[in-house]
Amino acid sequence: MEGNKTKTVISTGNREIDEKMGGGVPLGSMTLIEGDSHSGKSVLSQQMTWGSLNGGFRLSFFTTENTVKSLVKQMQSLSIDILDFLLLGRLRLFPMEIAQSKEDVLSILLQAVKAEGQRGSDMIFIDALTPCITTTPPEAVLRFFEQCKRLCSEGMTVVVIVHSHAVDRDLLVRITSLCDAHLRLRTEEVGERLIKAMEVAKVRGASKRTGNIVSFEVEPGFGMRIIPISKAQG
C-alpha cells in the first residue's frame, strides 16, 4: 500500500516484542523463527501475521501444519480473527500437503512464493518449512534460502519457521548467516509452570538489541501474554 513505502519495519502488533526487535520486522528482510516443538513458533508467526495485516500489508501464508479452516479457528482461539482479511483478499492461505510428495518441494514452493510476490504480497510466511527439508540435501536448502533472500532484496519480506531438530548445527549457522533476523524460541521450566521464551539472536539494524529475551505464555481466548522477566525468573 502507498502509505507503507515510508516504513522501515513491520510491527508484530505486540509492543514488547517490537521493542526487543528494535521496532519490529525489518522491511525487505528474511527472518528465521527457530525452536523446538511447542515452543511458541506458530503462535509468534500468527501474532506477526496479525500485526502485519493491521499495518496495512498484504500477506501470503504457506502452512504445512494446518488447513485453512483449522488455521482460522486456531487464530480465533487466540483472539486473532483473520476472516475479514481473507474475504478482502489481503491474506491468502496455502495449505501444503507434502508427506507423500516425490517432487522437488522446495523448488515448487519457491515458484509459489515468487508468484505471490508478483500478485502483490508484501510479506510471505512459511509455517513450517521443516517437512520440506528433512530429506533434502543441505545445499538445496541453502539454495532455497539464497533465492528467498534475493526476493527480499527486491522488496519482499519473508518469514520462515523451522523446528530446531530438523536442521544440523552447521547448516543452521549457514542459514542464519543469510537471514537478516533470527528469533530463537524455547520452553523453560519456572517453578511448577512452563513458559515460552523468545531470544532475539539477530536483527538487521538493531545489533545492540541482540540477545534480548521475551518471556510469554499462551492463553486460550487471549493469545500471547508477555511475562515480565522478574516474574518469569521468580
Amino acid 212: pLDDT: 87
End-to-end, the C-alpha distance of the chain in Å comes to 45
Q: Write the Ramachandran bin of 59: left for phi over 0, alpha for psi from -120 to 50, otherwise beta.
A: beta
Tell me the backbone φ, ψ of residue 6, rounded to 5 degrees: -90, -5
Amino acid 3: pLDDT: 53
Amino acid 99: pLDDT: 64
Residue ranges of E strands in the chain: 9-10, 25-26, 30-35, 59-63, 91-95, 123-127, 157-163, 181-190, 193-203, 213-219, 223-227
User: DSSP letter at 166?
Assistant: G
Amino acid occupying residue 11: S
Amino acid 221: pLDDT: 82
Q: List, run by run, the mean pLDDT of 10-residue segments along the chain (234 residues).
A: 68 91 92 95 95 96 95 93 96 86 84 96 96 90 96 96 93 95 93 90 70 88 81 53
Amino acid 6: pLDDT: 65
Amino acid 126: pLDDT: 97
Amino acid 222: pLDDT: 84
Amino acid 127: pLDDT: 95
Give me the domains of the chain, ranges plus CATH numbers: 12-233 (3.40.50.300)
CB atoms within 10 A of CB 160: 22
pTM of the model: 0.92
Residue 78 near residue 43 (C-beta atoms within 8 A): yes
